[in-house]
Structure 1
Amino acid sequence: MRHLTRTALLALALVVTACSPATDEASVPSITVSGQPDSQRSLAPGEVLGARQEAGIDACPASDAKATQREGGLPAVTLDCLGGDSTVNLAGLPTGKPRVINIWAQWCQPCAEEAPSFAQVARETRGQVDFLGINYGDPFVGKAIDFAVEHQTLYPQLVDPEQTVRAPLKVPGPPQTYFVDAQGTLVHHSTTVYKTPDALRADVEKYLGVTAS
């Protein structure tokens, strides 16, 4: 009888384990494309640009495709804009205004924790600081769009599904944040999770000399 009880408990445990979710991805709301919801948001390449535009995510900045890495600057790595309508060479991003670059993924819980801070500070410093996101190692671009909609991180977004920037930007994993001054010099690489807008405001002022308002 004792043996049967242990066997039954083991069987029940296996059933419960099989029914548990395999991952702990952030739950994001689904927007539709052409009226069709997609639970995995595994959009066809031709649908991504329409989804980005529908979501209100900004187009990516122009860059000098032939630029090489300047001393202390960003690497010469070219990434697609979310939607595939342009490419951006990080080394060729325009200067004249400081920039915050945030590496994130929709499956990354710390990224979800800090995303509202980035959305708020980006709004507060609009016109003074350019924000740029890099969606990193993400198999579901549509869910990444949903993430941006949920958290209102609607500034330009690049995509790096192959983790191309991992070595040149020393990315152990998302989130990572880079502060680039108006001359194009990378002045600080932060591994901090910015759980409050005040924490991000403080670093924007410290490293870029801009006070959010």
Structure 2
Amino acid sequence: MSSKPSGGRGAGYGWRWALAGLVAVVALALAVWPREGDDNDVNSGRERSTRAASGVSDELRAAAGLSACPQPARGPGGNGPLAGITLECLADGRTVDLAAVLAGKPALLNLWAYWCAPCAQELPYLQQFAQRAGNAITVLTVHSDPDEAKALSRLSGLSVKLSGVLDADARVRTAVGAPAVLPVSVLLRADGSVADVVVRAFNGVDDIANTVAGELGVAA
């Protein structure tokens, strides 16, 4: 009976260990190698986490059917008292750089809350005005209360589809120096400066149109 030399057995084990080491190195390289789409996946995950943290479901947002928030225009970012303020878009929960999305066009910001009766009367007028004005001016609602779910339900009940943001800490009101009452409408020039702060409820579409034309020169 013969047997393999001990040296051959040692060489076989050596090759096995070398091969195992090579496989481990390749696996490690594949694990850390950057892959196309990873950044998008991470960003999407962060957005989903942000929306989940707000406590508002995608179903509730979909039922409200709000218009998407404005997108930043090309060119320099926005200036004025709203510079640096980021808020959550009611339509999809994404973060909105307020000054950036309003830059380059006159704007009407309507500060309201779900519990405000005069706000509920005024919001449908604002939607009608926005439809009349078209692209000449940006009309954005600013819910000045932390209860986002009730804001969406209120807008849904009023059939108001205007784009809007959540301002849980009343940062817009503080930035423009408005009093702690609602509703308040802030009229902004295209450069981001404040033309007027209207501390009352509008009584109709013509009232809004006349006020905007007088302060911003926008006809609707």
Which band: TM-score by shorter chain?
Answer: 0.5 to 0.7
CA shift for structure 1 position 169? 2.4
CA distance in 2, matches of 1:45, 1:183: 32
The answer to whether the Cα contact below 8 Å between 1:48 and 1:82 also exists between their aligned partners in 2 is no
Aligned to 1:62: 71
CA distance in 2, matches of 1:168, 1:96: 19
CA shift for structure 1 position 83? 5.0
What secondary structure sits across from 1:174 in the alignment?
Answer: coil
Question: What pairs up with 1:74-89 in 2 under 5 angstroms?
Answer: 74-82=82-90, 85-89=93-97
CA shift for structure 1 position 134? 0.8
The answer to whether the Cα contact below 8 Å between 1:122 and 1:131 also exists between their aligned partners in 2 is yes
Residue 168 (1) aligns with residue 169 (2):
no
Q: 1:211 to 1:165 in 2, by over 3 A?
A: closer
- Deviation string 1:18-69 (CA, Å, 9 cap, x unpaired) is xxxxxxxxxxxxxxxxxxxxxxxxx9846444322332201112348xx887
The answer to whether the Cα contact below 8 Å between 1:114 and 1:195 also exists between their aligned partners in 2 is yes
CA shift for structure 1 position 205? 1.0
Which runs of 5 or more structure 1 residues have no equivalent in the other structure? 1-42
Residue 52 (1) aligns with residue 52 (2):
no
Residue 148 (1) aligns with residue 148 (2):
no
What secondary structure sits across from 1:168 in the alignment?
Answer: helix
The answer to whether the Cα contact below 8 Å between 1:104 and 1:174 also exists between their aligned partners in 2 is yes
Give TM-score, length-normalised by structure 1: 0.68
Residue 211 (1) aligns with residue 214 (2):
no
Please tell me the residue identity of whatever aligns with 2:59.
G
**Candidates 99, 106, 112, aligned match of 1:98:** 106
CA distance in 2, matches of 1:94, 1:165: 13
Which runs of 5 or more structure 2 residues have no equivalent in the other structure? 1-51
What secondary structure sits across from 2:115 in the alignment?
Answer: coil
Structure with greater Cα Rg: 2
CA distance in 2, matches of 1:48, 1:138: 15
Question: What pairs up with 1:110-189 in 2 under 5 angstroms?
Answer: 110-139=118-147, 141-171=148-178, 172-189=180-197
Q: Matched residues, percent identical?
A: 29
Q: CA RMSD in A?
A: 2.5
What secondary structure sits across from 1:119 in the alignment?
Answer: helix
CA distance in 1, matches of 2:206, 2:93: 34
Give TM-score, length-normalised by structure 2: 0.66
Runs of 4+ off more than 6 Å: none
Q: 1:124 to 1:151 in 2, by over 3 A?
A: farther
More helix by share: 2
Please tell me the residue identity of whatever aligns with 1:121.
F
